[in-house]
Amino acid sequence: MGSFARKEHQFLAELGLAPRNAGSFACGVWGGSGPVVIAEVVEASGREYEEGMRACYDAAKTWMAIPAPKRGEIVRQIGDALRAKLHHLGRLVSLEMGKILPEGIGEVQEIIDMCDYAVGLSRQLNGSIIPSERPNHMMMEVWNPLGVVGVITAFNFPCAVLGWNACIALVCGNCVVWKGAPTTPLITIAMTKIVASVLERNNLPGSIFTAFCGGAEIGQAIALDARIPLVSFTGSTKVGLMVQQQVNARFGKCLLELSGNNAIIVMDDADIQLAVRSVLFAAVGTAGQRCTTCRRLCSFFMKATINYGSELPLAQGINFG
């Protein structure tokens, strides 16, 4: 692709990206034998998913046996590696997804912040000692890892949502299998390369963090896979309902963050300049792609009278939909 040779796109090489990229990080190695999609990414096939999941499931036995503070140290190193590439990754998010550059950088910063939070959490995974009704006995509560956590993310936040889930999952002793959005495969690959480099530097199995670029077939495989006790899905309500039903059918657990849009009501005593800036950002600041994006604006120019038999407030509405 000629665009990779442009001066403004040379930062992509700093993230390990090339005109053609393997879109499957499974069994600790890069591969891909599925279809080739936008930005010349070779998606994962069903066979690669199965091989990768077997290795990820096996790696969970190694990862959960590592003490939690040591797992926190690995997450700390991931955060530091992301800091070193913060602006490059932010530019990639902006380029691939379309949001403004400060929002792209801010999204990557959210993962770094989550790494910092998870490092502290790694020394606070405490259980309880509970009094027993039996003489000379006590009860101890110990939290155990689930094993493998599946994370399916949407294109509007192509990496932040991964961080919210993966940082916590990793310090708690779980391996992670990630399917990024098929329309933002480059950020999936770039993020995975950074995590993989930290695991390799610490002589840990690359399968602890497994990633697939692919479409609905990979997402459905994750939802149906009994080796994944918990699936986190971010996306549309329609697809989220399907994921929940499939995971529940095998007695798995779900974390769902599904689509929605907000209305803004501006009262007549509001600071109009502040309200205008807030509405503008809410409507277009993230390319209109946020769960809290403003789609309806209602301006009240008469206060409601608060008493019995009150007047109805008169309103003027704008629909951004």
Known catalytic residues are 257
Assign 296 to helix, strand or coil: strand
Q: How many angstroms separate the CA atoms of 10 and 25, rounded?
A: 23
β-pair type (41-42, 36-37): antiparallel
**What backbone torsions phi and psi does residue 163 show, to the nearest 5 degrees?**
-60, -40
CA–CA separation, 206 and 31 (whole Å):
13
**Residue 26 CB partners (closer than 8 Å, separation 6+):** 44, 48, 49, 51, 52, 53, 55, 56, 207, 210, 212
Q: What share of the chain is helix, strand, coil (3-state, %, to 5)?
A: 45, 20, 35
Q: Nearest to residue 286, comparing CAs of 98, 134, 79?
A: 98
Q: What is the number of helices (H) and of strands (E) in the chain?
A: 10, 15
| Cross-strand pairs, 139 | 130
Rounded to whole angstroms, what are the CA distances from 133 to 97, 129, 139, 142, 287?
58, 13, 10, 19, 60
